[in-house]
């Protein structure tokens, strides 16, 4: 009887968790869409890549529900990035396939990586895992972007700086974007996560 009662309670908790996860993910997607559409039109002077504000949401989703949700939010962000004016004019015209793969993979892999980092450190040092995950999102995003730039967009790099493609990549395309994204994601995402965690604990205790 006790085993059966435990199984029923476990199934109820799992159902509630799945329902809450789906609902929360839907809210995060809605916020991500708004943030990403705004970010599509924000480019720091001196650079050609847009600021990706949705990295904050990707990191938050990965912290809350792991690599699957993190990857899904990353995929949505990548799909929205394809609609950015700078993406269409500056990258799509050079390599449509390279642009599509770069946009979809860089944020998707960033979300998946963050989710796995959180799971890896969950039972060891949760705070450290959250910090590393929040940093991993912009690092993986920018790293994958750099790889695709070298593979598909060398002509653009040479236009920026014919003598040094490395300088063109890090100063021309990335610029201050990477620094800004690391700072905002590593500060805001963990803060939002801790807030949602405290709210969730408070709601459970008040019932």
**Can you spell out the DSSP letters for 49-114?**
SPP-TTHHHHHHHHHHH-HHHHHHHHHHHHHHHTTSHHIIIIIITT-HHHHHHHHHHHHHHHHHHH
**pLDDT for 50:** 64
Give me the phi and psi of 162, to 5 degrees please.
-60, -25
**pLDDT for 96:** 95
**pLDDT for 18:** 83
Is-contact 101 56, C-beta < 8 A? Answer: no
The structure tokens 């004019």 sit at 89
**pLDDT for 157:** 76
Nearest Cα residue to 44 out of 179, 156, 182: 179
Q: Which residues of 174-200 are buried (b: 16+ CB within 10 A; e: fewer)?
A: bbebbebbbebbbebbbebbeeeeeee
**pLDDT for 57:** 96
Given a cut of 50, the residues of the chain with pLDDT beneath it are: 1-3, 5-6, 8-9, 11-13, 15-16, 45-46, 202
**pLDDT for 114:** 97
Nearest Cα residue to 91 out of 160, 143, 137: 160
**pLDDT for 173:** 62
**pLDDT for 95:** 94
Nearest Cα residue to 141 out of 27, 49, 35, 44: 49
Domain at 2-206: CATH code:
1.10.1760.20
The predicted model scores a pTM of 0.83
pLDDT digits (tens, 9 = 90+) for 85-106: 888 888 898 999 999 999 999 9
């Amino acid at each position: 009887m006790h085993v059966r009662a435990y199984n029923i309670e476990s199934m109820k908790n799992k159902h509630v968790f799945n329902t809450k996860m789906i609902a929360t993910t839907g809210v995060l997607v809605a916020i991500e869409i708004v943030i990403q559409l705004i970010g599509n039109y924000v480019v720091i002077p001196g650079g050609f890549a847009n600021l990706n504000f949705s990295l904050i949401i990707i990191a938050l989703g990965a912290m809350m529900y792991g690599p699957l949700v993190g990857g899904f939010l990353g995929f949505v962000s990548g799909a929205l990035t394809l609609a950015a004016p700078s993406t269409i004019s500056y990258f799509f015209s050079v390599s449509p396939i390279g642009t599509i793969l770069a946009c979809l993979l860089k944020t998707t892999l960033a979300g998946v990586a963050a989710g796995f980092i959180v799971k890896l450190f969950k039972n060891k040092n949760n705070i450290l895992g959250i910090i590393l995950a929040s940093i991993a999102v912009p690092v993986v995003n920018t790293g994958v972007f750099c790889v695709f730039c070298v593979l598909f967009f060398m002509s653009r790099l040479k236009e920026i700086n014919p003598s040094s493609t490395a300088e063109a990549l890090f100063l021309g395309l990335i610029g201050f974007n990477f620094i800004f994204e690391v700072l905002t994601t590593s500060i805001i995402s963990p803060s939002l996560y801790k807030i949602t965690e405290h709210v969730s604990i408070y709601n459970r205790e008040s019932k």
